Structure 1
Amino acid sequence: MTLARTLEPETMDAFDEAVAYLEMNHAEVNRVFADDLFAGGPTGPRVIDLGCGPATLAIEVASRDEALEVIAVDLSTEMLGLAKQEIDFAGMLDRIMLHQADAKTMAGYEDAIADTVISNSLIHHLEQAAEAIKTSMRLTKPGGRVFIRDLMRPDSESAVESLVQLHAGEETEIAQQLLRQSLHAALTLEEIGQVIEQCGMSAACVQATSDRHWTIDWTRP
């Protein structure tokens, strides 16, 4: 029997959880995300990162191309505070702009303003994933890309625990629990395929890309 989806809070507003998330080792995940993003086709010059968290992915992406301008968006005040520090430490305050906004709607933002919309690990926080996906599509210019990666829910508790030990076994208990909760909240490959078809994408635009991730790579006609 497939493991039922268990939602977690949409935003990470507790300071200790935000810090615990920042202190997790995201370097390899961010590196692979950026590798796959740039290998898939044109990316800039304007990139919007929805659900940017502490901006470590935005920093990794911006570091690959000095011509990129990244708008990093998050709803959590705590995350944005950490993100500002990280961007400052990286010397990228002039290239990565932080915006506080709801990634599900991006109310007040015009259509077709981004060459690429990216997101990593936002979708599993949302009860209705279609909202953020439709918004990503709306923000993207014709010929631009939507590149979204998120966790993929395993089919059993034992599979969840195996992934937690494999990928966070050397992390803190808090970090392990964050990953455990996120895996429970994630969509399966079949579920996200159904969602993107409802949004007007082909299900072929989403693929399993690791033992725990699926990835959407869609180009706006």
Structure 2
Amino acid sequence: MHRIPEPELMTDPEQARAYAAADFSEAHDHFIDQFRAHFPDFAGTGVVLDLGCGPADISIRFARAYPDCHVLGIDGARAMLDEGARAVTAACLQARIQLQQGYLPGLALPAGDYSAVISNSPLHHMCQPMFFWQTVLKVLPVGQPLCVMDLVRPEDTAAVDRLVAHHAADAPAVLRHDFRHSLLAAYRPEEIDRQLHTAGLAHLSAERISDRHWLVAGAR
């Protein structure tokens, strides 16, 4: 099944509110657990860059998991960042989580090295995913942790239907719609491996970690 691109930004406030209100704890806790497992010696200090932070749920979970770090969350959609700002305030983490609007390419980031780059589900929105990997190479020092999780494109539409029915049967219509289109827009692990090779990150690879997710985790 060929990849079917979807819009790169989630700009609709209703859509952003639905994502902010949804319970993604299973997948997002799994992301944090994967980071811990792959980087047991991570000091948990410095500034961690969350690329494509959306409504900041991963940023908040990461900041709680590593209470000595600061997180800079970047997203292109103002509607998502508005929801993220409310969530950060509700979590009382304004002193440790900063959110910034930005786009790839040409992302203007504050000067300074980052102790890690984390990212959940940015690439299926991108028609030119090399911009993402090039940004990682630009901002992340050699040897520092990189942890990226995203969706896997199923083999056929029947598999898409099964995943939507299993994971989003009770979700609002907007989330079911977006989940379906995100699966159709997702990259497969072998496609991510080719991207990594082209970017000069061939020592990394995409690992299938669930029925719908791959993970790239390793030192830059």
TM-score grouping bracket, smaller chain normalisation: over 0.9
In 1, are the aligned partners of 2:44 and 2:69 still within 8 Å (CA)?
yes
> What is the CA-CA distance between 1:43 and the residue it aligns to?
6.0
Contact 1:43 / 1:116 at 8 angstroms: preserved in 2? Answer: no
- Residues paired across the two proteins, number: 217
Separation (CA, whole Å) in 2 of partners of 1:166 and 1:90: 30
Matched, 1:6 2:1: no
Shift of 1:125: 0.4
Secondary structure of residue in 1 paired with 2:115:
strand
Task: Give, in angstroms, the shift of residue 138 of structure 1.
Answer: 1.7
AA in 2 matched with 1:73: I
**Any idea what SS the aligned residue of 1:6 has?**
coil
With the length of structure 2 as denominator, give the TM-score of the two structures. Answer: 0.94
Superposed CA deviations along residues 138-183 of structure 1, whole A, max 9, x for unmatched, are 2112220111110000010000010111111111121111100100
* Correspondence list, 1:17-166, <5 A: 17-41=15-39, 42=42, 44-45=44-45, 46-110=47-111, 113-166=113-166
Cα deviation digits, residues 179-207 of structure 1 (max 9, x gap): 00100010011111111110111265221
The structural deviation recorded for 1:105 is 3.8
Distance 1:202 1:163, change over 3 A: same
Please say if residues 164 and 180 of structure 1, whose CA atoms lie closer than 8 Å, have aligned partners that are also in contact.
yes
Does the Cα contact within 8 Å between 1:123 and 1:129 map onto a contact in 2?
A: yes
* Partner-residue secondary structure (3-state), 2:143: strand
Offset of residue 24 of structure 1: 2.1
* 1:191 corresponding residue in structure 2: 191
**Alpha-carbon distance in 1 for matches of 2:109, 2:101:** 12
RMSD across aligned C-alpha pairs, in angstroms?
1.5
Residue aligned with 1:138, SS: helix
- Give the distance between the partners of 1:43 and 1:71, measured in 2 at CA: 17
**CA shift in 2, pair 1:27/1:108, >3 Å:** closer
Alpha-carbon displacement from aligned partner over 1:33-89 (angstroms, at most 9, x marks no partner): 001112211164221000100001100010012101100111111111110000000
Q: State TM-score, norm by structure 1.
A: 0.93
Segments of structure 2 that go 5 or more residues without pairing to the other structure are none
Specify the code of the residue in structure 2 equivalent to 1:80. Answer: L
Q: What is the DSSP-based 3-state SS (H/G/I as helix, E as strand, rest coil) of the residue aligned with 1:149?
A: strand
Give the Cα separation in 2 of the matches to 1:106 and 1:88: 25
Distance 1:185 1:44 in 2: 33
Deviations 1:81-114 (A, max 9, x none): 110000000010000011111144423544x721
- Change in CA separation of 1:151 and 1:43 when aligned onto 2, cut-off 3 Å: farther
1:96-138 per-position Cα deviation (integer Å, ceiling 9, x unaligned):
011111144423544x721110110110000011110121122
Asked whether the 8 Å contact 1:137–1:146 carries over to 2, the reply is no
Secondary structure at 2:142's aligned position in 1? strand
Cα distance between partner residues in 1 of 2:164 and 2:75 = 25
Q: CA deviation at 1:22?
A: 1.7
* Unaligned runs of at least 5 residues, structure 1: none
Identity of aligned residues (%): 31
